[in-house]
Structure 1
Amino acid sequence: MLRLPIFAFIGSVLFSGPALAQSPEAVARQLQERYGALETLRASFVQTAGGQRLEGTLSVRRDAFRLDLGNQVLVTDGGTLWSYSRDDEQVVVQDYEPARVGFSVGQLFTDYLEVFRVTAASRATIGGVRHDVLTLRPRQSGSSVRDATLYVRSSDAVPTRVRVHDTSGSTLAFDLRDVERNVSLPASTFRFSAPAGTEVVDLR
């Protein structure tokens, strides 16, 4: 069973403020309400895990996303997940079930209160930009995610960094850059058409 990468970002926070006066859940709900006006998001990113650094691009529309890591592409329309390896010239097709794969890009950015409970909220200034910081834990047992920290830009509620620890003790890092909001993304962005000669492994 393929598992989606868990993305995070381990970075230097220049100033970390105290916990907010409101409850963590209230802060998270306010951020989600503001983020609700965001239809699409496109960004470049840097992923760091186990001493390895990967760069790529990410497009998100609610539960649908497209992640291009160069040698691997992950695409879902919210119902089907395509995992394509350029090196192996193979695509694995399966039903997209976030609870089973452990982590959903779309859910973390837009519907994280359904998947995670917020245990703490604070503020931080990163590179001169004010952020709201949420500490998250999965609501359901059996998740591969132990906890996550989400950094959300205070000015427009756009997530820019995630730090995630999985149950095996690994820490992975994800840093969004050049974020574009409400860009036009055709439906084909969230479908995958296998190149000629690609081996298709359908697990549905």
Structure 2
Amino acid sequence: MRKVISAIAAVIILSSTAAFAQKDAQAKTILGQVSKKYKAYATVKTDFRMTMASPQNETQGSQSGTLVSQSGTGKYRVTLFSPAGKSAVDQEIVSDGKTQWTYQKRDNEVQVTNADHTATGLNPATLFTMYEKGYKYLYTGDQKQGGNTYQAIELSPTAASPAIFKVKLLIDKTAKLIYSAQLFDKNGNRYTYLLSNFVPNPKVAGDYFTFSTKAHPGVNVEDLR
């Protein structure tokens, strides 16, 4: 790098830095609006479709599911369906904020682990508030898709060598809801989540965020805690 920087170059650098900070402020405002809307409800439910793309072998997979989560508690239930449709459950991931259960229906097996509360754990319950801790964020402009306008935000984890090194969010400019999230991992895989049918305060049973072995006769329990 040159030791002497001309006055013109210095102005350019300062202008670029100011623009970056301004976009950061815009990103914080946009994400704050999303977080505020989510936190206004005790429980929220959303459908999603997840697509995985791997540049190395050009394979892709797609799966639909639902997410139900409680704001501020770390409680959630993710249900993934088989390609046959919503009548066939393929996998369930359930957490009461302390324990996580991952159930594979095909094997009738559930793995029990401690809930991940790290900043980059990508806990589904923190999908709408993940930016608040462990991430830098940048507003990259508006994008139009299908007649709708979305605000694009890029998140970068502050942790060293994270498994997920970048997250791209598209936020519905009018509804202030996340429309899609793209996760990029260090192996070159890209996971895209399209969210739809946001339902505030759905009715759920008291034990909805725990896994019941009685409801799954013969289930094999693997306690990995």
Q: Same fold (TM over 0.5)?
A: yes
RMSD: 2.3
3-state SS in 2 of match to 1:99: coil
Instruction: Tell whether the 8 Å contact from 2:23 to 2:138 is kept in structure 1 after alignment.
Output: no
- Distance in 1, matches of 2:143 and 2:170, equals 8
Q: Which runs of 4+ in 1 moved over 3 A?
A: 19-23
Separation (CA, whole Å) in 1 of partners of 2:40 and 2:206: 19
CA drift at 1:154? 2.4
Compare 139-148 and 85-94 and name the one that shifted more.
139-148
Q: Distance in 2 between matches of 1:91 and 1:21?
A: 41
Aligned to 2:79: 68
Is 1:24–2:19 an aligned residue pair? no
The code of the aligned residue for 1:56 comes to G
Q: If the length of structure 2 is used for normalisation, what is the TM-score?
A: 0.73
Distance 1:167 1:99, change over 3 A: farther
| 1:136 equivalent in alignment to 2:145 | no
Per the TM alignment, residue 57 of structure 1 is displaced from its structure 2 partner at its CA by 1.6
- 1:203 Cα shift? 1.6
Structure whose alpha-carbon radius of gyration is higher: 2
In the alignment, is the contact (CA less than 8 A) between 2:113 and 2:223 conserved in 1?
Answer: yes
Residue of structure 1 equivalent to 2:207: 188
Question: 2:168, 2:183 within 8 Å by CA — same for their partners in 1?
Answer: yes
**Which 10-residue stretch deviates more, 20-29 or 173-182?**
20-29
- Give the TM-score, by structure 1 length: 0.80
**What are structure 1's unaligned runs of at least 5 residues?**
1-18
Alignment partner, residue 102 of structure 1: 121
- Deviation at 1:20? 5.7
2:42 is matched with: 39
Residue-by-residue CA offset, 1:8-47 (whole Å, 9 max, x unaligned):
xxxxxxxxxxx96944334333443343313322122211
**Equivalence for 1:199:** 220
Distance in 1, Cα, partners of 2:190 & 2:127: 17
CA distance in 2, matches of 1:99, 1:133: 25
Do the aligned partners of residues 29 and 178 (structure 1) sit closer, same or farther apart at CA in structure 2, a change above 3 Å counting?
closer
Structure 2, unaligned stretches of length 5 or more? 1-21, 54-59, 81-88
Provide closer, same or farther for how the CA distance between residues 36 and 155 of structure 1 changes in structure 2, counting only shifts above 3 A.
Answer: farther
2:67 corresponding residue in structure 1: 58
Correspondence for 2:133: 114
Q: Where does residue 48 of structure 1 map in the other structure?
A: 51
1:101 and 1:148 map into 2 onto residues whose CA distance is 11
Per-residue CA deviation, residues 140-160 of structure 1 (Å, 9 max, x unaligned), is 224211100112222332212
CA spacing shift, 1:148–1:125, aligned 2, 3 Å = same
Instruction: Give the superposition deviation at 1:99.
Output: 2.6
**Cα distance change of structure 1 residues 65 and 184 upon mapping to structure 2, 3 Å threshold:** same
Residue 187 of structure 1 aligns to a residue whose secondary structure is coil
SS at the partner of 1:189? coil
Decide whether the 8 Å contact of 1:67 with 1:73 is kept in 2.
Answer: yes
Aligned amino acid, residue 176 of structure 2: A
Cα offsets for 1:63-99 (capped at 9, x unmatched): 3221111211111122111000011111011101243
Quote the sequence identity (%). 23
